[in-house]
A and B are shown apart, each in its own frame.
Chain A
Amino acid sequence: MKTTLTICKRELRAYFGSYIAYVLTALFLLLTGGFFYSWLRYFILFGGYVLPSGLWQQVFLDMRYCAMIVLPLVTMRLFAEEKKLGTIELLWTYPVRDLEVVLGKFLGAWLFYVFMLVPTAVAPLVFYTFYQFDLGPFLTGYFGVLLLGTAFIACGMFVSSLTENQVVSAMGTYGILITFWYITWNESVASVAVIEGLLKVSLFDRFLNFARGVVDTQDIVFFVLFVLYFLFLTLASLDARKWRGVGAAS
């Protein structure tokens, strides 16, 4: 547990000790802020008083794209950078379990995501001082965005553990996430049964309920399983060093 926190601390140090944290946070805030502003304008002009199903749904649905764009850039370095630099070798010589390394890095990226997410609530809260909207759907939406991002991070960390190239790591994660987004894009290309099956595993459709202000335990279970699955895959991928080696064999 303590080792997990040590690794988590080290990851946060890596994010905030370089420009990465600030550039990515700026990008995330720019995108989310832009969407919030445009949807707010839209609903003030045309929306009337259907905030939960209108404004928040649109804002949170757009926020998942922001997360999809930014989070692979957050997770791409987790293992790829250490493999490229060679720092991973020394890490394995410390008395540390693979699981502690995985959880530490995951937690580090996750806390960074929380750090990016918190300021996005500032504009809605300023809005709240003018107009006391119902906080329930708003908080549900945030909970959903947090869960969705957690799933993206788990997925991105796994891809990062497969390669030592950060660009490949980010692109691979985009590939997987876009596939999940895209599989239910056009409902007319597959039979109803197939689409219904796909909807159940589509990250983005699972998120829809949260955006609408609805919490369904099924959705929560899905996200938790998704995260656990990719954590497990990451562990399995790290295990490959046992027969593949680290870096040049000599």
Chain B
Amino acid sequence: MIQAHRLTKRFGSFTAIAEVSFRVEEGEIVGFLGPNGAGKSTTMRILGGVFPPTAGYARVAGYDVVDDSLRARQAIGYFPERVALYTDMTVREYLGYVADMKHVPAKEQAREIARVMDRCGVTHMGHRLIGTLSKGYRQRVGIAQALLGQPKVLILDEPTAGLDPEQVTEVRKLIRELRGHSTVILSTHILPEVEATCDRVLIINQGRLLAVDTPRNLNRRLRQLSQIHVEAQAPLVSLLETLRQIDGVVRVEATHTDHNVVAVTVLTDPTKDLRGVIAERVVRQGWPLLEIRPVQLSLEDIFLELVHRPDEVSVNPGG
């Protein structure tokens, strides 16, 4: 649904992105992750038809974003990083303007505008001037205009930036609800965001794509050791001893003791899932097992790994 092939964009002597290639399949939600200035917005703007790439090509819904720009743009909904809307219009007027711009047929406009307003929770703000809305509501109107016309592809540039935590949750929920209806590519520099919403993640830094994979695979590929967090009511020394004897356990570290509850982190061979064995051993000793869970390496960790040791991870476009 989205295809980028060796996209390169230079502004004068500055190279914003270099040789970025990836594919996004129909119905996928893909996260575009990278620090500020990594080239996320540049890539999104190329996909959105704002400007063409210096080299390489991109296709959206089968249309080249340069040669078939109008049809490509007809297929997308775009949410810009800087949510700039016409502040002198009311929400409803503005969405009416967008519907005209997107060639939504006149008799479907009222229904379509009502749909996106409802979807984004701005129905009760329809008659307010956009200039008088709070940042959160403007953001929602921004998303509403992207959704208008039911585009096949949604390009969302930092859709949760600048929102309060409750609004962030709402926007993420909204994006998850799009699953199956639209293909979504969203950029963010907030790591939990992709974990919360995305099927796959593209990691970009300094204009180059570092990795393309599912959050889970990235997790697996980058971990040398799996970590399991165990809490039990047991004497610490005996518990450590018992766990160390399990085949596949590399190391056991005590993390916390409180009265008679001890918490330990068990580092294990990543190819084996030892949770069952650990639980069984602890319980066999007669110790109440309070908690056992795998510790997920956060994308923060993954990202640091990739940025500092990019050669050790192969880029796998097309996933």
* A interface with B by C-beta (< 8 Å): 2-3, 6-7, 9-10, 13-14, 17-18, 85-87, 89-97, 241-247, 249-250
Q: Which of A10, A85, A90, A242 has the most CB of B within 10 A?
A: A90
Which partner residue on chain A sits nearest B155 by CB separation?
Answer: A93
Q: Is the CB of A13 within 8 A of B89?
A: yes
Name 5 extra pairs, CB < 8 A, besides A10-B97, A93-B50, A95-B73: A6-B100, A13-B89, A93-B80, A93-B155, A246-B50
Given the complex, which residues of B lie within 8 Å of A97, measured CB to CB? 70
Given the complex, which residues of B lie within 8 Å of A85, measured CB to CB? 84, 87
CA distance A10 to B85 in the complex (A): 12
CA distance A89 to B155 in the complex (A): 13
Q: Is the CB of A250 within 8 A of B41?
A: yes
Given the complex, which residues of A lie within 8 Å of B11, measured CB to CB? 243-245, 249
Main secondary structure of the interface of A (DSSP, over half): helix
Q: Is B304 on the interface with A (CB-CB < 8 A)? A: no
A-B contact count (CB 8 A): 98
Query: What mask results when residues 159 to 199 of chain B are scored 1 for a CB within 8 Å of chain A, else 0?
Result: 00000000000000000000000000000000000000000
Given the complex, which residues of B lie within 8 Å of A250, measured CB to CB? 16, 36-42, 81
Q: Is B86 on the interface with A (CB-CB < 8 A)? A: yes
CA distance A247 to B82 in the complex (A): 10
The residue that A13 contacts in the complex, of B88, B98, B155, with Cβ under 8 A, is B88
Given the complex, which residues of A lie within 8 Å of B42, measured CB to CB? 245, 249-250
Q: Is the CB of B45 within 8 A of A246?
A: yes
Given the complex, which residues of B lie within 8 Å of A17, measured CB to CB? 88-89
Q: Is the CB of B73 within 8 A of A94?
A: yes
Measured between C-beta atoms, what is the minimum distance from B145 to chain A in Å? 7
Which partner residue on chain B sits nearest A97 by CB separation?
Answer: B70
Q: Is B215 on the interface with A (CB-CB < 8 A)? A: no
CA distance A52 to B76 in the complex (A): 59
Given the complex, which residues of B lie within 8 Å of A242, measured CB to CB? 51-52
CA distance A138 to B288 in the complex (A): 102
Given the complex, which residues of A lie within 8 Å of B36, measured CB to CB? 250
Can you report 6 A-B residue pairs in the complex whose CB atoms are below 8 A from each other? A2-B103, A85-B84, A92-B48, A92-B50, A241-B50, A242-B51
CA distance A247 to B16 in the complex (A): 13
Q: Which of B40, B80, B81, B89 has the most CB of A within 10 A?
A: B80
Given the complex, which residues of B lie within 8 Å of A86, measured CB to CB? 80, 82, 84
The residue that B101 contacts in the complex, of A18, A96, A247, A249, with Cβ under 8 A, is A96
CA distance A94 to B50 in the complex (A): 9
Measured between C-beta atoms, what is the minimum distance from A84 to chain B in Å? 9
Measured between C-beta atoms, what is the minimum distance from A171 to chain B in Å? 24
Which partner residue on chain B sits nearest A88 by CB separation?
Answer: B84
CA distance A172 to B85 in the complex (A): 27
